[in-house]
Amino acid sequence: MKRVALLGMPNTGKSTLFNRLTGSQARVGNWPGVTVDLATARVLVGGHMVELVDLPGLYDLHGFSEDELVARHFLEAARVDAIAVVLNASQIDRQLALALQLKALEVPTLVLLNMADEARRYGIEIDVERLGTGIGLPVAAISARFGTGVPEALAKLAHLLDTAPHPREASVRAALAEDHRREEEIEALLRDSVVVPERLSEQASDRIDRVVLHPWFGLPLFFLAMLAVFQAVFWLGSPMQGGVEALFEAVRRLALEPALAPLPVLLRGLLLDGVWAGMGTVAAFVPLIVVFFFFLAAVEDSGYLSRAAFLTDALMARLGLDGRAFVMLLMGFGCNVPAIMGTRVMRDRPMRLLSMLTIPMSLCSARLQVFVFIAAAVLAPARAPWVLFGLYVMSFAAVIVTALLFRGRFASAEPFVIELPPYRMPTMRQVWMRGWVEVKHFLRRATKFIFLGVIAVWLLTHLPSGAAPAGPDTIAGWIGSAMQPVLGPLGIDEKLAVALIFGFVAKEVVIGAFAVIYGLEGDALAAGLAQSMDWVAATSFMLFTLIYTPCLSTVATLRSESRSLGFTTLAVAWPLALAWAASFAFYQGMRALGF
């Protein structure tokens, strides 16, 4: 099987092209540094079955950030039959150097001028044939977002593979030795093949940026946009959520209960009140996940999040971080794991460690499910979006406190550099793909952590045999009672304490644990929660869940990325202490005020 390495600078649309060619769901976002690991897929190119490898973005082969080293080490160690290097056609003057470096590796290389449509809108004219002749490599102009020119590019890649010599290891060191000669070569190529207007025409991006990058209005507009997303989640997702709950209830009543009636009481209870009730409660939040990530993917793909990073760089610098850390925090809204991996774009280890310490404070999609459920159960519908918005603000507050306390320990002087891509109208294909990736990730976790976690909760709340379900004589009751001296001052009772324990495995388990602990599901479970806690206790519980120990998969990622057991211990212990302090201050403060 042939192997083709897909390379390019950050934000050139490399992963978008990978997904279009392979139908895979590699992470795609409109900011630098999204791809931080190797994504591979098989695709038919001409008469060749090709293993296409999507490598992390790199600016040149000199790069020393961890994601750049991944690409460099891959080229040095792996057998590569061909390289497809993706360049941003509208920034070709800055990106040709990478193509020339790769050419020096003496591996068959195809140059793909992506975003050719944007370049034309800017008035940039590229003579593709002349450029190819001058550079000595085949060149194709494409648009990965819309598929324009992709079939022709694949034909050129197939021809390259047909005529490629036997692959050999690339010598990166030798390729870098000729760097000093490339500047003159690039200038000659640009003069001969590229026409750039003396002054690029003002684009819509420039006009929009005057507003969204305004020093006073920029950040408030961003937070208003996020608030609108939360409102849309409730408005569109709640009816679908109710439909899923009704479906699970009907299946239980009409099919499962009659079919399981002959089974022993304990086994029937495990299957109905444990497995089915827990999974049904979790499944009801799939529509909310779809809606939330549909809107979030649209915001990402539009280019707006890079502006948010630019706007927040001054604030983040005071915290010992930079705008890239803010981008990773926003990525953490989906899942903390890829956000932590995304810190590989940072060359400086102290800044990377400080960023990894703050990212688990992001309100990930798993926590979002818990908060949506509790807010809908305990709070009035008109107030629920504001509570969610407030929790997002609190997550940023936790980040600020953490960064201020630890910036001295993880001091860094690395400069912040980020490119602001032009605004792009999100395509339905990419938005849908992003939402589907998140739903698949959620369902995959549901079949592993959540399923096992819910069963474990049921067993703890029903054993030993003969004890009242979820009563004080069960194992769960013993654990909850033992934790009351610590959690009682936060307004968290014994039942909620058990749910928090299983939330360490995966935050989604908390919802399934509710169904098992209370022995209810759907509307009945919501009513039971509303009776067991008022808005002060509910908010305290959500605040604790927001900050406390990250899930098991996040802890494992922190350990592998930091390669430090001490740092991983800090990343687990510090959020737990901060969560307790924040919830204690809120709960006791509200009670002192008479609420």
My answer on whether 120 and 226 are in the same domain is: no
Whether 143 and 149 have beta carbons less than 8 Å apart is answered as yes
Per residue in 37-61, pLDDT (tens digit) is 577 888 888 888 998 988 888 887 7
Instruction: Kindly list the strands in the beta sheet with 39-45, ordered across the sheet, starting from the edge strand earlier in the chain.
Output: 39-45, 48-54, 2-8, 82-88, 109-114, 139-141
Q: Categorize the per-residue pLDDT at 24 as very low, low, confident or very high, splitting at 50, 70 and 90.
A: low
Phi, psi of 9 (to 5 degrees): -70, 160
My answer on whether 135 and 238 are in the same domain is: no
Residue 532 lies in a domain: yes
My answer on whether 180 and 262 are in the same domain is: no
Domain-ending residue, one of 162, 180, 195: 195
My answer on whether 189 and 227 are in the same domain is: no
Per residue in 472-528, pLDDT (tens digit) is 788 888 888 899 999 999 999 888 888 887 777 677 778 777 877 777 777 788 888
Which residues constitute the domain of residue 144?
2-195
pLDDT for position 417:
65
pLDDT for position 63:
67
pLDDT for position 193:
84
Residue in the block written with tokens 């022709």:
152
Nearest to residue 88, comparing CAs of 55, 117, 109, 60?
117
Domain-ending residue, one of 162, 195, 228: 195
My answer on whether 88 and 226 are in the same domain is: no
- Helix H, strand E, coil C: the string for 232-247 is HHHHHHHHHHHHHHHH
Please compute the mean of the pLDDT values over residues 187-207 and round it to a whole number: 74
User: Domain of 109: which CATH number?
Assistant: 3.40.50.300
Number of domains in the chain: 2
More confident residue, 111 or 343: 111
My answer on whether 174 and 243 are in the same domain is: no
Residue 200 lies in a domain: no
Residue 417 lies in a domain: no
Per residue in 353-365, pLDDT (tens digit) is 999 999 999 888 7
My answer on whether 342 and 475 are in the same domain is: yes
Domain-ending residue, one of 164, 195, 226: 195
Cβ-count burial of 262 within 10 angstroms (0-12 exposed, 13-18 middle, 19+ buried)? exposed
My answer on whether 224 and 255 are in the same domain is: yes
Per residue in 206-218, pLDDT (tens digit) is 788 888 888 888 8
Cα–chain center distance at 262 = 46
DSSP, collapsed to helix, strand or coil, labels residue 44 as strand
Residue 22 lies in a domain: yes
Whether 240 and 287 have beta carbons less than 8 Å apart is answered as yes
Tally Cβ neighbours within 10 Å of residue 206.
Answer: 12
In whole angstroms, give the CA distance from residue 181 to residue 178. 6
Highest mean pLDDT among 182-196, 221-235, 350-364, 566-580: 566-580
Helix (H) or strand (E) holding 84: strand 82-88
Flag whether pLDDT at 34 surpasses 60.
no
Residue 333 lies in a domain: yes
Flag whether pLDDT at 177 surpasses 60.
no
User: Angle between the 349-358 and 565-592 helix axes, to the nearest 10 degrees?
Assistant: 40
Residue 281 lies in a domain: yes
My answer on whether 224 and 183 are in the same domain is: no
Residue 212 lies in a domain: no
In whole angstroms, give the CA distance from residue 110 to residue 137. 6
My answer on whether 185 and 274 are in the same domain is: no
My answer on whether 289 and 433 are in the same domain is: yes
Length reported for the chain: 595
pLDDT for position 31:
46
Q: What is the pTM of this model?
A: 0.62
Whether 523 and 245 have beta carbons less than 8 Å apart is answered as yes
Per residue in 388-404, pLDDT (tens digit) is 888 888 998 999 999 99
In whole angstroms, give the CA distance from residue 397 to residue 354. 15
My answer on whether 158 and 266 are in the same domain is: no
Residue 360 lies in a domain: yes
Token pair recorded at residue 40? 């591979």
